[in-house]
Amino acid sequence: MNMTGKILIALPFFRHSLADEIEGLQKIGKTSSVKKGDEFDLKKVDSFNVIVSGAFGIESSGKNDTVYLKPGSFFGPLPFTENRPAGRIRALVDSTLFVFGIEDLYKFFLVSYKFLRGYLKIITRMGYSLSEVGRKYSGGKSKIITVYSRSHQSGKSFLSSLIALSLKKDAKTVVLDMSISGDSIFNFFEKKITAPLSQRSGEEKGFEGILNEWIVPVNENLDLINIAFGSKVKVNPDIVSPLLFILSKEYRYVVIDCSDDDVDLRNRIVGLSDQIFALVKNKKDPGLQFEIFDAHAKEGQRVYYVVNERYAGTVRNFSGGFVLPDFGAGEPLGGLDRRTRLVEEEAVSALAALITKKRRAVVLGTALLPALFYGGFLDALRKNEKKFDVYYTSSFGYIILSLYLLSGSSNDFRKGIGRFFSDERINKLLDITFPTEHIFKNSLIVKLAEEICGSNRIEMLRDMPVAVLGHNGVTERRLFSTGYLKDIVAASFCLYPLFEQVGIMGSPYNSGYPDFKVQIEDMFRIDVEETLHVSVDNGAAMNYRNGKLIQLFVNYMDFIQERHADDKRNDLSDANFVLEVSERDVNIGRILEVSQELSDKLLAKIV
């Protein structure tokens, strides 16, 4: 990433950006040189300006104080806000700005729905007043739910109709028919199928005007739109983000009925969804969809597998998923009136509750050995019966989190931590190879992760552990909310370039530490409404100091932890818990005891 890109992603309201979004922002902005002494009236500035080099001073009207701005600062109107500071700004030296036209930024939001959602949540939490237009988008609170199946005649549209009928009781809901063939969702609502919107041209009215004409009301709080069904040409997947941008003004829930007819469209929908209900006809079928979600659900999406008993027969022990009963034991599904009654069934209401609930996330700040203190915090969660929907962390913290979610008791959890992080075990994992690209091989780490995690999939766990890893060295960061837990745990341990990277989907991944860390802002791109940030403030430099480990590893841990301070607080989080400790040695029993005692006191503050 170039210098301008690094400055942009460091801006508080752009920190949630993906790498390709930063590239996109650089394409719509332009560099402008400003001479020393040049002045601007802030009230008349009609562009958003980021200082790349140089320095500026702002003199407010009626005040003698000057506010100095350095590279990384900004001035000008922020999209979707009412901020318009008064005063004059002057270049103190020859400087460089990166300038965005406001209309260009609005167009960028149009094609980057999740970027918009994160941006709105961030500026609201920063205290900016939303403009009237900004308020129409509900602060990014719409939820995108996709019902998907690889199989035709799986009951996908039937399930979509049940979910939509249930959601509309809570808030305004729209169903998008994104399946090209099969049985249209319109049939399940006894409505005439319209021509697909994707084939409609009407630039004279604008996309939003055309979209409004294509809405088919079902009843109060529930509408339908045919986007792709019956399309004779390939649907451009770029249509999806603008659709969500526009619909988020009016609808709390957007339900997408999606099939495998168009792979590119399907992949884009998966990437933009919040929750995905993957319907299967047999309880052995989820494996057919793993590669799709692992490749395209990159932002903390929640995937649920649902097996349809109408095709699978009576299902027992469908671990990691849900069962859609055969209502009526094979009899016709009936009309809209009957489906309206079926939404009261426990199996349907349970699925709807997953969507309507207020989702809470706990973010465990990125750390290496101090992450052991998260063990006491997580154990205190179990003891105090506190639950979160999303757990987000990285590096050694993700290993601790995984051990917690796999354990059945506090005793099992503590044994698991000792099994992975005892000095004897760590020493065995340090398998030295001839140093070319790395010093330590990953084979023993991969083996241990497999022994501990087995074949567990992230998305099949009751509580969702989201990880961030480094990809291909320090090329980019990637979030994982699906995939085999053993792979993510192994990669989370492998510090680059000391350790050999771990292959996931044919690509090399590593711990990401210290270049890629978790951040609260990532949670603002998904449907999380409440966040808790937890961190460790250790007054001592912690390491294995009993002389049993290879000194190279000990020295490296001292070196990297001393030079890379981990985040202690996040002002955008709803709450911050800092575990203030002072432990120099890795004594697992002592660490868990101290951190659980501290956490018990802190957790009393959580409602």
Q: Which long-range contacts (CB under 8 A, 24 or more apart) does 322-328 make?
A: 322/347, 322/350, 322/351, 323/347, 324/155, 324/159, 324/279
For range 299-311, the mean pLDDT = 95
| pLDDT at site 242 | 92
Best CATH choice for the domain 3-136 from the list 3.40.50.720, 2.40.50.100, 2.60.120.10, 2.40.10.10: 2.60.120.10
| pLDDT at site 334 | 61
Best CATH choice for the domain 140-356 from the list 1.10.132.20, 3.40.630.30, 3.40.50.300, 3.40.50.2300: 3.40.50.300
343 pLDDT tier (thresholds 50, 70, 90): confident
pLDDT at residue 329 is higher than 70: no
| pLDDT at site 63 | 64
For range 81-110, the mean pLDDT = 92
What is the Cβ-side half-sphere exposure of residue 67, based on CA atoms within 13 angstroms? 14
Q: Which two tokens stand for residue 339?
A: 């489906």
The residue with tokens 């241990």 is 448
Lowest mean pLDDT among 91-95, 202-206, 436-440, 460-464: 202-206
How high does pLDDT run on average in the chain? 92
List C-alpha distances in Å: 96 to 14, 17, 73, 479, 594: 20, 23, 12, 34, 51
pTM metric for this prediction: 0.93
For range 246-258, the mean pLDDT = 94
| pLDDT at site 85 | 79
Sign of the Cα torsion 81, 85, 90, 92 reads: negative
For range 477-493, the mean pLDDT = 98
The residue with tokens 């806000």 is 81
The residue with tokens 């739109």 is 225
For range 403-430, the mean pLDDT = 95
**Fold classification of 359-604 (topology level):** Cytosolic phospholipase A2 catalytic domain (3.40.1090)
Lowest mean pLDDT among 91-105, 188-202, 280-294, 425-439: 188-202
pLDDT at residue 206 is higher than 60: yes
Q: Provide the strand spans (E) within 1-94.
A: 30-34, 39-41, 47-53, 56-59, 66-69, 74-75, 88-91
| pLDDT at site 577 | 93
pLDDT at residue 312 is higher than 90: no
User: What is the residue-wise DSSP string for 335-385?
Assistant: -HHHHHHHTTSHHHHHHHHHHHS--EEEEE---SGGGGGHHHHHHHHHHHT
For range 518-542, the mean pLDDT = 94
Query: Are 492 and 395 contacting, i.e. CB atoms less than 8 angstroms apart?
Result: yes
The CA distance from 531 to 336, in Å, is 39
337 pLDDT tier (thresholds 50, 70, 90): confident
The torsion angles phi and psi of 164, rounded to 5 degrees, stand at -65, -45
| pLDDT at site 607 | 56
| pLDDT at site 13 | 93
pLDDT at residue 409 is higher than 90: yes
List C-alpha distances in Å: 158 to 19, 154, 314, 324, 342: 38, 9, 18, 10, 11
332 pLDDT tier (thresholds 50, 70, 90): low
Residue boundaries of the structural domains of the chain: 3-136, 140-356, 359-604
| pLDDT at site 565 | 75
| pLDDT at site 57 | 94
The three-class DSSP label of residue 239 is helix
pLDDT at residue 130 is higher than 90: no
The CA distance from 360 to 370, in Å, is 24
For range 524-550, the mean pLDDT = 92
pLDDT at residue 331 is higher than 70: no
| pLDDT at site 121 | 93
344 pLDDT tier (thresholds 50, 70, 90): confident
